[in-house]
Each structure stands twice: as C-alpha cells, then as structure tokens.
Amino acid sequence: LVKRRQVITVHDASVVRVPQAFRFSFRLWYRLLVGVIARRAPLTMAVSQFSAAEAESCFGAPRERLRIGTEGWQHLARIDSDASVIERHGLRGVPFALAVSSPTPNKNFAAIAQALQMMGDQAPRCVVVGAADGGIFRDAPIAHERIVRVGYVSDEELKALYEHASCFVFPSFYEGFGIPALEAMACGCPVIASTAPALREVCAGAALYFDPAQPAELAQCLRTVFADAQLRTRMSRSGHVRAQVHSCSPVCAGRGRRVTGCVHVPRRPDPAPLSAQGGH
C-alpha cells in the first residue's frame, strides 16, 4: 500500500453496487485496498468505459490517470471445441439457449426462469453452465422442465456449447465488462443481453436487449430469436464482427507500454572508473 509506483486494474465496483454478494469484512478490506491504491497509483486500468467511470466514482481513481484496456476472447481461438458435452447431455440437433451462471444476485438468473415460465409450451431448452441457485428453477415448473444444468465445463466444452447454441442469454443487472457475451459473439452465437451499461458498451448493435427487471421482455426476445433463422444468421455475423473490436493483441501491447512507462525506474549509469591518479 505504501509503494507509489503501482498499477491497478479495476474490473468493476460490484462490492459497492452489489454489496449483498460479499461479506462485510471483504467489502471493507477491498474498498480500502483498491481505494488507496487507485488514488495513489500513476495508472489505473479499466476494462471498459463503464468500469472506468465506476473506478472514479466508487474508488476515487483520478480521471486523468485512468486508461481503458478491453478484455479479450482469443483464449478460445487457441483451443479446439470438445463436442462431447453436446452428446453427453442429449443436445445434438436440439435448439437451445445458453447461459453461464454464478449464484451471485447480480447475475439475475431468476429472470430466465420467469421468462421460460411465461413462454409456456414455446419455452426452448436452456443450458446453464456453472453454479446457480437451483431453487429459482424448481419454483417455476416449466422452467424446471426446460433447464439443462451441466455444471462446470472445460474451456473446450464451453466453446462447443457456444458454437451449437441458438443464442446466448446474459440477464445480469450489473457487469463491469461481460466476457461471456464477448466469447459468445466470437464463436458466432447470437447474444440476448440485458441493458446493463457495460453489456451495451461491449455488444453495441450486435445483440438484442431487454430490461433485466422485465422477464417478459426476455421472453419476447427468445420468441423472436428462436422463430427467425435469418435473424440468428445476421446476429451471428454482426457479433463476430463486433468481437474483432475487442482483440487482445494490440490492446495488450498498448497496456504493456503504459504499465512499463509508469513503473519503469531508469537505470542509474555505472560509476566512472577511478583513474590511476585519483584512485585509492
């Protein structure tokens, strides 16, 4: 904390915006740590315009020392997809929506359950990756029928799910960036996202949007996407183009230069050799 030549990356301010997801002791420690470093550091990196604004308003990072460096998806380009997950869960040839979950409240997976319930017999299969509160699906009988919970999967399996899904659903109330949406677009999967500011920034015009507090809007988006193959094709193409904006290579190079410039301490020149006459 006392060193001044530090660089910090702020991904979001969820400890401030979604306090119920964290223990009080962690919130206190995190806000103190990030706040002190962000105010003193010569450079604070943020992963989006939205997260930069959050770093300034929630942690006091000086605006003139904030820089943006996007997240990337190229880790998926370096691996082959593993379609065994498709076979294992009986998804071959089955239209399905995909969602990547965690049990934190801001992920808003109750909206998916409510939307599927509203759709009745029109509700598609929905594959949920990762952890989620199973109770939100048990309380909605139709959703409980349509949900396929696959748990945690490898990156290779996740890539296969992105490639085979009819669409990806991202219902979060709050995100600092939204890497899963970027991954989905890079894999050609149409994205249905909430109107959370960071998701609109990342996906721009390549996604369909809905109010995360209005499950009926999500239900309508799902109906639209599953009923229109041409729309899915257009969204797949526009999403893939949008993903290229978030290429890691130039961003990482630029980030590296900024970090080096902030923390590099010039090497002191070697002392001049002592002359024969002046030596001791």
Give pLDDT tens digits for 235-279. 999 999 999 998 765 555 455 555 555 555 444 444 444 444 444
Burial state string for 3-28 with b = 16 or more CB within 10 A and e = fewer than 16: eeebbbebbbbbbbebeebbeeeebe
Cβ 85 vs Cβ 153: under 8 Å: yes
Name the residue with higher pLDDT: 275 or 37: 37
Distance CA 54, CA 11 (A): 9
Mean pLDDT over 67-82 rounds to 92
| Domains of the chain as residue ranges with CATH | 7-71+247-263 (no CATH), 74-244 (3.40.50.2000)
Neighbouring residues of 130: CB distance < 8 A, sequence distance ≥ 6: 100, 101, 102, 151, 152
Cβ 233 vs Cβ 86: under 8 Å: no
Percentage of the chain modeled with pLDDT above 70: 84
Give pLDDT tens digits for 112-139. 999 999 999 999 999 999 876 666 666 6
Mean pLDDT over 73-94 rounds to 94
One DSSP character per residue, 84-135 reads HHHHHTT-TT--EEEEEE-SSGGG-THHHHHHHHHHGGGPPEEEEEE---TH
- The predicted pLDDT at position 143 comes to 75
Looking at 82-86, 217-221, 245-249, which range is the least confident one? 245-249
Mean pLDDT over 139-165 rounds to 89
